[in-house]
Chain A
C-alpha cells in the first residue's frame, strides 16, 4: 500500500531537512514541473488526476486552478495561499503534515505557484501551531538557501517567495473568503461569491486557496502521473486520504489510507475498535460540521459521494467516536457551543441563532428542558440551513444537530421527562 503523503514522516522525530528530503526523492517534482512542463500542462495533469480538495468541501483542484485568468494584459499579480488554518474539531491531519514533512508542502507550493503564475505565496497558519511554524520557517530558509525560492528558480525564469502568516485563532478564517479578509488585516468575515477568489481574491487579485493536504499531493502527481493517483483510491475518488480517529477507541491516531477505505476498517482495524467497556453508538465521520452516522453505516466507503449518500459528508476524514457512556445531548451541546462561539457575527441567523441553539441544549442537558424546546431546535435546522446564511458555518453547525435529533430523539426526551441528564449519575 502506497503512502506518498506520509512516507517521510517519522512520528516523534524531527522532519527531514532539505538534504535528506532530496535524498528521499524530494524536489524532483519541482525540477520536472519548472523545467519540462508549462503551467497549462500542470493544470491539465491535476485536472486529469481528479484530485479533490481535502479541506472538507471536496472541490476539484484542477477546476479551481483553471479559473485563474491567464495572459492578462497588463500582467496582474496572482497569489497562492496554503490554508493551514486547521481548526475543525476532531481534525489533526494538516498539523501532522506540517510538522512531519514541511518540505513536501514547500515543494507543492513551488509547483502550484508556478502553475497559477503566482510569485508570492502565504501559508495561512493557525496561531496555535507553534511547532509547525518553527518547522515551516526552517524549511523555507533551507529551500531559499538551495535557490528553490527566490528569483529565477532552477533557471526557469520563475520567481517565488513564501511567507508564513500566523493567525490569531478563529475558526472562520479557514473559510477561504474569510481567510482573505483576515490576511488583509480586517475582521475575518466571509465575502460574497461571486466574484470568486480566483478572479478577485487577496487585495482584489486572482488568488488560489488550497488546503495543506490537497497541496501535499501535487509533487506526487507530478512525479507519478494522473493514472497512478487515480488508482490509489478504491473507488471513483483517487489518491490516498489522511483519516483520523478520536474518542474512546483503543488506538486514537491518524493513518494514510486509500481514499474510500471503509469506516469499519478505520475504526475496527486501524483504531483497534472501542476500548474495553465502551461500545460505539455513532460517529461524526469528518469533523464537527458533519452529520452523525451510526454502526449500521460502518461499511460505507469513506469517499465524498458514498458518505453524502448517507446524508453526511466526508469532511476532513477525522472520525470522532461517540460511545454509550457519553451523553449524546452533551456532545451536541459541546459542538454547538463551539459553533456559537466561533460565529463571526456578520449575519443575523448565525449570530443570534447559534447561541439560542446552545442555550436550549444547555437547558435540556441540565434537566430544565421542555418538550417544545425540541420543536424550536427542529425549526432552527431550517432557519440556519443552507441558503439562509451568508456562509456555510451555521449550516455546518446544523449537521450534527439535525442528525442528532434524528438518531438520539429518545435520549433528548429522557432528559426532558426525567429532568436530568441520565449520564450524569455515573
Chain B
C-alpha cells in the first residue's frame, strides 16, 4: 500500500512479473487485463501513473489501455478500501432478497454502493451473477465466495473496527 499515494513507479520485480505474464501471448498487449489485475493486487487499484507505465511496457497507447481498464467490472481506477464487498445483484440473488441485504449494508457501513467507508476498511460494489445461485444471496468478499447470506452472517463477515468490543 505504501506507494498507492505516491507517484513512484513499479518495481523491477513487478516489471519481471509483467514480462512473464505477457509471454503467454502472441503479442504483449494481450496480457493487459492480467497485468492490470496484477498491479491491482499489489496496490489495490490502478493509479494513473501505473496505467501509463503499463501502457509503455505493453506497447499500447495510454488511451487504448484506459479503454480496456474502464471496460471491466473488476478493474478499479480509484482507490478502494482494504476489503472489497461485491454483492451479487443478478436475478436469483434478487429473488432471494439481496436488496434487503444491500439496504442493511448501507446502514451498517454508512455508505452507498460505489463508496468506501471513511476509515478505508470497506468498499461496497454490486456485481453480476457470481454463479452461486443455488446458495443465493451471494457475495465475493475480496477473493472469497460466500453464499446463503442473511443479515446475521453479513454482520459476522463484516465486523466494524470502530464498534466497541463487548
Q: Could you tell me if A168 and B73 are in contact, using CB atoms closer than 8 angstroms?
A: yes
Q: Could you tell me if A322 and B95 are in contact, using CB atoms closer than 8 angstroms?
A: yes
Residues of B within 8 A of A320 (CB): 91-92, 95, 133
- Is B57 close to A, CB under 8 A? no
How far apart are the CA atoms of A101 and B134 in the complex, in Å? 19
How far apart are the CA atoms of A184 and B28 in the complex, in Å? 9
Q: Could you tell me if A170 and B140 are in contact, using CB atoms closer than 8 angstroms?
A: no
- Is B96 close to A, CB under 8 A? yes
Binary per-residue interface labels of chain B (131-157) against chain A in the complex, 1 for a CB within 8 Å, 0 otherwise:
111111000100111000000000000
How far apart are the CA atoms of A163 and B31 in the complex, in Å? 12
- Is A232 close to B, CB under 8 A? no
Q: Could you tell me if B73 and A185 are in contact, using CB atoms closer than 8 angstroms?
A: no
Residues of B within 8 A of A188 (CB): 71
Q: How many residues of A contact B (CB 8 A)?
A: 57
How far apart are the CA atoms of A203 and B28 in the complex, in Å? 12
Residues of A within 8 A of B74 (CB): 127-128, 168-169
Q: Could you tell me if B133 and A184 are in contact, using CB atoms closer than 8 angstroms?
A: no
Of B24, B86, B140, which one neighbours A163 at CB under 8 angstroms?
B24
Of B9-17, B33-41, B101-109, B112-120, the stretch lying at the interface with chain A is: B33-41
- Is A417 close to B, CB under 8 A? no
Residues of A within 8 A of B58 (CB): 185
Closest 4 pairs (CB-CB, A-B): A168-B72, A169-B73, A185-B29, A246-B133
How far apart are the CA atoms of A312 and B157 in the complex, in Å? 40
Chain A residues 323 to 352 lying within 8 A of chain B, measured CB to CB, are 323, 326, 330-331, 334-335, 337-338, 341-342, 344
Interface range on chain B: under 10, 10 to 19, 20 to 34, or 35 or more? 35 or more
Q: Can you list 20 A-B contacts with CB-CB less than 8 angstroms, sorted by A residue number?
A: A87-B128, A87-B129, A90-B90, A91-B129, A168-B36, A168-B73, A170-B71, A184-B27, A185-B32, A186-B68, A187-B67, A187-B68, A202-B26, A203-B26, A246-B92, A246-B134, A248-B95, A326-B95, A331-B95, A334-B94
Binary per-residue interface labels of chain A (217-259) against chain B in the complex, 1 for a CB within 8 Å, 0 otherwise:
0000000000000000000000000001111100011100000
- Is A196 close to B, CB under 8 A? no
CB distance from B132 to the nearest CB of A (A): 6
Residues of A within 8 A of B130 (CB): 128
How far apart are the CA atoms of A201 and B72 in the complex, in Å? 22
Known pairs A171-B128, A185-B31, A338-B128; list 5 more (Cβ under 8 Å).
A185-B58, A247-B95, A252-B135, A338-B90, A338-B91
Are A170 and B96 also in contact (CB < 8 A) when A87-B129, A90-B129, A341-B128 are? no
- Is B111 close to A, CB under 8 A? no
Binary per-residue interface labels of chain A (184-211) against chain B in the complex, 1 for a CB within 8 Å, 0 otherwise:
1111100000000000001100000000
Q: Could you tell me if A89 and B134 are in contact, using CB atoms closer than 8 angstroms?
A: no
- Is A262 close to B, CB under 8 A? no
Most chain B beta carbons < 10 A, residue from A89, A167, A247, A334: A89
Q: Could you tell me if A128 and B140 are in contact, using CB atoms closer than 8 angstroms?
A: yes
How far apart are the CA atoms of A321 and B92 in the complex, in Å? 8
CB distance from B48 to the nearest CB of A (A): 18
- Is A146 close to B, CB under 8 A? no
Q: Could you tell me if A245 and B134 are in contact, using CB atoms closer than 8 angstroms?
A: yes
Residues of B within 8 A of A284 (CB): 91
How far apart are the CA atoms of A252 and B135 in the complex, in Å? 7
How far apart are the CA atoms of A246 and B148 in the complex, in Å? 12
- Is A86 close to B, CB under 8 A? yes
How far apart are the CA atoms of A92 and B90 in the complex, in Å? 13
How far apart are the CA atoms of A337 and B94 in the complex, in Å? 12
How far apart are the CA atoms of A284 and B36 in the complex, in Å? 36
CB distance from A179 to the nearest CB of B (A): 12
